[in-house]
Structure 1
Amino acid sequence: MDIRYSTGPEDVKRYTTEELRKEFLITDLYQPDQVKATYSHVDRMVVVGIMPVHETVPVDKGIDIWKNFGTHFFFERREGGVFNLGGSGVILVDGTEYRMGFEDCLYISMGSKEVTFRSDDPENPARFYMVSAPAHKPCKTTFISFEQANKRPCGDGKTANKRVINQFIHPDVLETCQLCMGLTQLAEGSVWNTMPAHTHERRMEVYTYFNIPEGHAVFHMMGQPQQTRHMVVQNFDAIISPSWSIHAGCGTSNYTFIWAMGGENKEFDDMDEIAIPDMR
């Protein structure tokens, strides 16, 4: 498991591009029949990529659970949200099968013991993207299809940010301890995923970008509002965003991204917007 320790804004002011990417960027999440996990000490969130091809892959494959979590199984004191970003597949949670199509989501409750992943077709494997947060009580493991997500159209083509926010793991959809997740789709011709940018001191956030056309990329903006930095990200890359940092992106084409949040509350609109003229 890759371990990322917390870094403050004063240090980031002096980071080179390479140091910035090493600290916040997560790449190569999907390796055949492997679990690729990154543990962030920012609110102790875990970002996981699982791409089963020829095997049924358990969630803890290759992870020393006691060393990394001090628990007996992955979800003993955690909850998680999983999106499928590839071909169709199945997640098995304590004997119950959940069939996962493209952009479907599964919320996995604290206390789930046996969790495995498999693909229907090794030629077109599923890509399971998971973010896990600490939890204090069990909720209900719940499947949310793309059609069942709470949809919030916003933005405008005139400002190149027309998009639909699809809320999946969200208080308006189901109960969780602290985890919130959703999927935002940008319309053709729109490239900004959020602007004006914002911070939320009470929560951290993780982005993962996908549906980026071949030959294109997204310029992800981060840092304090008056000390902004950027990273160029590719298809299926993820970004850790601490609470003190803005998190916005501009692509060379439209794209899709998944956001995951954890922290003091689950209020989606709890954010501190930064006026564009005030950014540096």
Structure 2
Amino acid sequence: MSADPLFAKTYHAVHPDMMMGASNADLHDRHAVTGLFRAGELVLTYSHGERFIIGGAMPGEAALDLPVQREPASAAGHPLLERRELGVVNIGPAAGTVTVDGVAYPLAKYEALYVPMGSRDVRFEGAGARFYLLSVPAHAAYPIVHMTLAGNPPMRRGSPETSNARSIHQLVLPHACQSASLCLGLTRLDPGSVWNTMPPHVHERRSEIYLYFDLEDDARVFHYMGQPDELRHILLGDGDAVISPPWSVHMGAGTSSYSFVWAMAGENQDYEDMDVLDICQLA
């Protein structure tokens, strides 16, 4: 649970030593973000890692509005994005609309919207849309940007032979969309491919969050985390996210192909800033 009534749950930063005595249930409770997509609701959670707000909006027949701040008392009633920026990705089967300060932006599936710091009124509409929300503190307001896959040609990585052929769309990164610290992208695995993020790596200077989707009800992703010589896994389903601390490997393998949204924030916005590991280093 969370002390702030605005958030369904708060996730605390953890030391790598925590992994040693944690059960699978403990790992799931401390790192898996579930229950974000509930019909007719907007759900927000809070992570102390980079001060991420992780949320989901599933409007149904009625519009949903981004709430105002409730705590501390000095900020109560102020816009949630008063000092934050926001990334929105529609992962639902149907198109929807995000309206920011009176301007409407239609988002088809896989399309994204960067919403700058200082935006006051944000509304989500569209039965069948599922809006995934990621917000971090910001120091500057940059232009709002609507991103489509057609406007963001993918990087191709992996191969069918290694079961990790995939398309990586870099959406919120300096070359495509300015932001204060948020980095955001979408990866889609080819049919028959199940492994993501190969080679595995860690980001010592930023946290990363994955959200898995395009999975059938009976499909799962085994998400691996932990230090390279002490790997563990968390089992995740469609619409589940997972928080990866800076010291942790993050990679996954599914029972079928899938898509995932990756988001980072931290000390820099260099996509290549990662410590790459040889698969033989893992244990």
Q: TM-score over 0.5 for the alignment?
A: yes
- Which residue of structure 2 lines up, in the alignment, with residue 277 of structure 1? 280
Tell me how many residue pairs correspond in the alignment.
274
- Which residue of structure 1 lines up, in the alignment, with residue 220 of structure 2? 217
- Which residue of structure 2 lines up, in the alignment, with residue 98 of structure 1? 105
Q: CA deviation at 1:187?
A: 0.8
> Which of residues 43, 46, 49 is equivalent to 1:36?
43
Distance in 1 between the 2:86 and 2:189 partners?
25
Distance in 2 between the 1:133 and 1:149 partners?
23
Amino acid at match of 2:50: D
C-alpha change, 1:84 and 1:194, in structure 2 (3 Å) is same
Query: SS at the partner of 1:55?
Result: strand
Query: SS at the partner of 2:150?
Result: helix
Checking the alignment, whether the CA contact within 8 Å between 2:69 and 2:79 is kept in structure 1 is no
- Which residue of structure 2 lines up, in the alignment, with residue 81 of structure 1? 87
Alignment of 1:1-280 (within 5 A): 1=7, 2-60=9-67, 64-67=69-72, 70=75, 72-86=78-92, 87-119=94-126, 122=127, 125-280=128-283
Q: CA deviation at 1:54?
A: 2.2
Identity of aligned residues (%): 38
Deviations 1:231-250 (A, max 9, x none): 11000100011101011000
Amino acid at match of 1:238: A
Checking the alignment, whether the CA contact within 8 Å between 2:69 and 2:75 is kept in structure 1 is no
Deviations 1:145-191 (A, max 9, x none): 12112410011111111111011111111111110111001111111
Report the TM-score when normalising by structure 1. Answer: 0.95
C-alpha change, 1:69 and 1:239, in structure 2 (3 Å) is farther
Deviations 1:72-117 (A, max 9, x none): 2110110011000111111110011000111110000000001111
Checking the alignment, whether the CA contact within 8 Å between 2:182 and 2:265 is kept in structure 1 is yes
Displaced runs of 4+ in structure 1, greater than 2 A?
63-71
Q: Which runs of 5+ in 2 are unaligned?
A: 1-6
- Which residue of structure 1 lines up, in the alignment, with residue 4 of structure 2? none
Distance in 2 between the 1:68 and 1:173 partners?
37
Q: CA deviation at 1:143?
A: 0.5
Q: CA deviation at 1:195?
A: 2.3
Distance in 1 between the 2:66 and 2:80 partners?
7
Query: SS at the partner of 1:66?
Result: coil
Amino acid at match of 1:23: R
Q: CA deviation at 1:64?
A: 4.5
C-alpha change, 1:102 and 1:69, in structure 2 (3 Å) is farther
Q: Which runs of 5+ in 1 are unaligned?
A: none
